[in-house]
Structure 1
Amino acid sequence: MNLASLPRVIVEPLVRAALAEDLGLAGDITSAAVIPEEHRSTVVMAARQPGVVAGLDAADLAFQLVDPAITMRRHLPDGAAVEPGSVIATIEGPSRGLLTAERTALNFLGHLSGIATVTAGIVEAIVNTKASVVCTRKTTPGLRALEKYAVRAGGGMNHRFALHDAVLIKDNHVAIAGGVTEAIRRAKAGVGHMVKIEVEVDTLDQLHEAMGEGVDAVLLDNMTPDQLRDAVGIVAGRAITEASGRVTPATARAIAASGVDLISVGWLTHSAPVLDIGLDFVEAAGESATPLRRVAQAF
């Protein structure tokens, strides 16, 4: 997988904001009171269930920003499949900083790995078809760049990133404009030649209308596999075809078999369950190694 990391300038402000939310005005008063300042530890982040890893840059930054003396050695990259017990990374450094950063690091890693995992499930369901899985703008406010990155880590692709980078004429635009034709004509008159135009259609009649005006892509909303197959025939390669609505791992194969180019799935980013990843104590400075034990709690 050729997965490019996000630039640090994108990731760091999000991690800083999460740490600031957690540290408040006094910092980690528990670790400061309980853990000696000079104490050092080694911990590992390990998977508790099968999945796909994403978010290691954010997790690493959480530790670095709390204490630059903390180092994280990655054993697996983003996009790697894991099983229960798989060690993802080893982190070493001052124990206070490790405990202060662990929840923020695991929040990012668990959430993004969850998105990568469910994306990989849809990708697997449609293997050996021409279709690709794409996400939507249904993302957690502020975390879109990371969540869309996690989709890529799971083998999916990204739809538009925001309202400004492509035209997507939805049903409400059509209703207000007075029809598909008028909405497309207004869009073409209002944007530059470099901006692609996609229109959402609910019926094959609307699709015929859209193709008569010429668009770059059509979003085929809540159509059955048979309707999608007819829609692909109508388009006949003149535009990208995108299916959306009622997509699950169980239904994705039939949708992909219709011949559509893309399958868009909103719940990849807005409803993916967290992948359970734990932080386990391995060794404290000056002591012999002890059996792994869980130190990351649910609070």
Structure 2
Amino acid sequence: MQEYVTEDRLTKFIQAALLEDVGDGDHSTLAAVPKDQQGKAQLIIKEQGIIAGLALAERIFKYHDPELQVDLLLEDGNRVQPGEIGLRVSGKAASILTTERLVLNCMQRMSGIATKTKQMNELIGHTRARLLDTRKTTPNFRMLEKWAVAIGGGKNHRFALYDMIMLKDNHIDFAGGIAQAIKATRRYLEKKQLDLKIEIETRSLDEVREVLTIGGVDIIMLDNMSPNIMQEAVALIGDRYETEASGGIDERSIIPVAESGVDYISVGALTHHVKSLDISLKALRFHQQTAG
């Protein structure tokens, strides 16, 4: 698992998600299913893609009912085909029913993200560029979405506002310009005794030249530039700083961007424009024994 996927964060997420979904009780299950009814269900893959969230699913089942038996038949990151079985879970039928939707909601979205990440990564596999995610994530679901990107072979960018400095166009404009933004940031980090990387956005070759003159950063973002201009910018920057391409990049535009020579390509669509993978959890037939 990634370093940001901690037991504490997982527990808090599962607690909040179950509270949201179950509230004061799963009344459908409580009404219809005997309390001690035993059952078994299996996770069925219904669409081709990359599976993600199996490790999380096991934790959700076990958090709700530690007596549930979960058998993982695949691993996160596996390429899957329709008809494959991802896991089987057995134990109290009521526990399986109550956790079913949370497991599916997480796994379907995570698998959709992992699948899209894998597809885009394969498009640029012949280049040196690495695929990055962004902070364009679903509130309170970021940990799982970034985890899914990593499962799909992408690289996580900063997790949140606190673990990296990113000076974007609005920061620069409000600060009064590139020089003012960089100098103020360096003073702030020194005063606070913080060791954070600094990335700055540039929108033209002139802005790239200005950053190169001032220095004091770690990564230069090339935002909404054409691949030809990016190539010129990469040549100007050389080995002095890492480079990141950004700005509405999708499957149609990512190859020429990667071929410009940039180190990283950030794609917000990995998490904000994704189709969930079709997965279902189906009960295996259970014939209740009756007293003779």
Which structure 2 residues correspond to residues 28-177 of structure 1 after superposition, within 5 A? Answer: 28-177=26-175
Q: Which residue of 2 aligns with 1:232?
A: 234
Structure 1 position 129, deviation (Å): 0.7
Equivalent position amino acid for 2:262 in 1: V
Q: Which residue of 1 aligns with 2:202?
A: 201
CA distance in 2, matches of 1:88, 1:112: 14
Gaps of 5+ in 1: 288-299
CA distance in 1, matches of 2:286, 2:2: 35
Question: What is the root-mean-square deviation in Å for CA atoms of aligned residues?
Answer: 1.7
CA contact (8 A) 1:135 1:159 kept: yes
CA contact (8 A) 1:114 1:273 kept: yes
CA distance in 1, matches of 2:101, 2:201: 41
- Assess, with a 3 A threshold, how the Cα gap between structure 1 residues 3 and 75 changes in structure 2: closer, same or farther: farther
What are the superposed Cα offsets for residues 243-292 of structure 1, whole Å, 9 maximum, x if unpaired?
Answer: 011211221111100000000011211221211111122242658xxxxx
- Assess, with a 3 A threshold, how the Cα gap between structure 1 residues 109 and 5 changes in structure 2: closer, same or farther: farther
* TM-score, structure 2 as length reference: 0.93
What are the superposed Cα offsets for residues 187-231 of structure 1, whole Å, 9 maximum, x if unpaired?
Answer: 111114621111001111001101112221011111111011111
Q: Which residue of 2 aligns with 1:13?
A: 12
Instruction: Count matched residues.
Output: 285
2:246 to 244, 247, 261: 244
Tell me the secondary structure at the aligned position of residue 247 of structure 1: coil
Equivalent position amino acid for 1:150 in 2: A
Structure 1's consecutive aligned runs of 4 or more residues displaced over 4 angstroms after TM superposition are 2-5
CA contact (8 A) 1:39 1:285 kept: no
What are the superposed Cα offsets for residues 49-69 of structure 1, whole Å, 9 maximum, x if unpaired?
Answer: 111111223222222222222
> Is 2:184 the counterpart of 1:186?
yes
What are the superposed Cα offsets for residues 106-159 of structure 1, whole Å, 9 maximum, x if unpaired?
Answer: 111111111111111110111121001000111111121211111100000011
CA distance in 2, matches of 1:86, 1:179: 55
CA contact (8 A) 1:147 1:269 kept: yes
* TM-score, structure 1 as length reference: 0.91
What percent identity do the matched residue pairs reach?
39
